[in-house]
Amino acid sequence: MTQAPNATGFAEDGSPSRLAIDTIRTLAMDAVQKANSGHPGTPMALAPVAHTLWHDYLRYDPEAPDWPNRDRFVLSVGHASMLLYALLHLAGVREIDADGKPTGEPAVSLEDIKQFRQMSSKTPGHPEYRMTTGVETTTGPLGQGCGNSVGMAIAERALAAKYNRDGFDLFDHDVYVLCGDGDMMEGVSSEAASTAGHLKLSNLCWIYDSNHISIEGDTALAFDEDVGKRFEAYGWNVIHVDDANDTAAFARALDTFKATDDRPTFIVVRSVIGWGSPKAGSEKAHGEALGEDNVRATKKAYGWPEDAQFLVPDGVKEAFGGAISARGKPAREAWDALFERYAEAYPEEAAQIQDLRRGKIKDGWQGAIPSFPEDPKGLASRDSGGKVLNALAPLIPALMGGAADLSPSTKTDIKGKPSFEADDYAGQNMHFGVREHAMGSIANGMALSYLRSYTATFLVFADYMRAPIRLAAIMELPVVFVFTHDSIGVGEDGPTHQPIEHLATLRAIPGLDTIRPGDANEVAVAWRVALEHTHEPTAMILSRQAIPTLDREKYASADGLEKGAYILADAEGGDPEVILIGTGSELPMVADAHEKLTAQGIKSRVVSMPSWYLFEKQDQAYREQVLPPSVTARLAVEQGGSMGWDRYVTSDGATITMSTFGASAPLSKLQEKYGFTLDNVIKVARELIEKKNAK
């Protein structure tokens, strides 16, 4: 049996702390064994670390797990979820519902732990935000929790800078993260750590479980760098703890973190995965149950009853939860009293904070959204998007974001506002640098801490941030992901910068509202819809090239975007012979084709379809009103891939879409080459009508 360096021994020593630590370990072992699925080794190794952090340092009130100034605990090693579930159970955290009201139930009961990884349980294989009270963010994809934590630390600094006043320190909490070797290998963690070091986020502490084991075996197979030195280069304060069981040494490291005010802290903890078991120090303790015989042997080594399952000895919950409550409850009650006094002194700011907690934006902001007059020349939707953003920013204090070093191109900087930097945490403009992956992850963390975050980059780089976009949808976070340079309209930059398949892949993400507005007024409505979302992220797809602004006296109101698709222009006197569907920069051309066909005596309908997501949420009657089943001659025009359009154009319809990766050339040449011309739209529409009439 492998023993940790300098370990105090396997057998239970009778102390309350050791009893609680071994309870965490055995609950993890039993839950994984019962499910015959999961990761027991990391909870077994990190139980002393987690116990010390929660029992002695974490500022948290189990009776009020949504207290705004609580410390955040992020389990970035989400596969070790049983560690978190055991902590929540022993701490006595109380459940709150979707409206923030107490249910009277425990967040994680012992029965919930017995249902680990089972259907509809509150203890899924990886922690899921909104499913289990006390889970601060959904983790599982390694590195995402690390990135989220940087966003949480940014949010604390931003909220403190905006709302704290002399004598009113409303926001001064810390963010703790447990991360592992896998997190350190993932690039997103490096991007996020670099950002945190640059911003000198001294409220951020990552605790790195350096056990040198991954699924394939010893990490030396692929990973042998000095991680501590890497973080020193990032500007972090790096501390080493040689043994995860040395709780006194770990406590000293946390004391150093608390005393550090000029940089984030990175604590490297050496541990032995599966500590105390016959599989200790092996990859066999990582991603599979230990086996019944090994569980018994490990419990015997701990001095634990070998046949006991899911045992929580008398007094463990009271001692562990009591220590947390004794620190957290008075702090929370003092905060509540402080906030009452704050509300009297600063009623407007207090009201804003209450709105933030509810995920609400103060009424009246919609009136600031600009409208745009008809303009045949028009403007790029990235430009109109920037105008709308800047009109709204002064009315929405929580609105904060930026671009991946591209704000001059994405037009997403808030004019007249400072940048969020280490010397000015009151800034509203974020500079994420060329770090798209971390940008998305950080934005999710900001949204988890009350901010209305947005990001911006070119659409082709959505691939670099797919994981956080997907997680925003899973967590139902209303982050706005702005993507510009949306098509072959990028022109001379060529195929590497011309997105083709990206619209289809974004539309494929459940719960993500992908909106590609067709003129400036649709952009304005798109921003309104995005900010009215409370449980959906938005991917806003904007153009680089100018788009004509349609005459809304002649055509239907852009408010139709609220339903995802709407009839922009219709045939006169009877059903249309053909339906023309357009999005984005192609919509005005489709409208022009409608005018030409009408002049030629052909009845056509134009449907603007900026959001498939919103359209699918409408009832069948509305969808069939827009796209009557009887009209099968349908043509969709979009400078993207054809995937997915078959559901709307039907087998009798057609698309003018992209089937290659584009080319480097002036836009006009590209449009001609790939068929995005007025003449070709009319030609294909007439062919569809002829085909239908020939049947």
Catalytic residues: 436
The 3-class SS string of 589-612 reads: HHHHHHHHHHHCCCCEEEEECCCH
Residue 85 CB-density burial (10 A; 0-12 exposed, 13-18 middle, 19+ buried):
buried
Which two tokens mark 113?
């732990």
The 3-class SS string of 316-369 reads: HHHHHHHHHHHHHHHHHHHHHHHHHHHHHHCHHHHHHHHHHHHCCCCCCHHHHC
Tokens 């045992």 -> residue:
311
Residue 621 to residue 324: CA distance in whole angstroms: 55
**How many alpha carbons lie under 13 Å from residue 601 in its C-beta half-sphere?**
0
Residue 402 to residue 419: CA distance in whole angstroms: 9
Tokens 């969020």 -> residue:
420
Count helices and strands (H / E) in the chain.
Answer: 24, 22
Q: How many residues does the chain have?
A: 695
Residue 329 CB-density burial (10 A; 0-12 exposed, 13-18 middle, 19+ buried):
middle
Tokens 């790096």 -> residue:
238
Secondary structure E strands in 357-476:
375-380, 399-403, 429-431, 452-458
Tell me if 427 sits within 8 A of 401, measured CB to CB.
no
Neighbours of 599 (CB within 10 A): 8
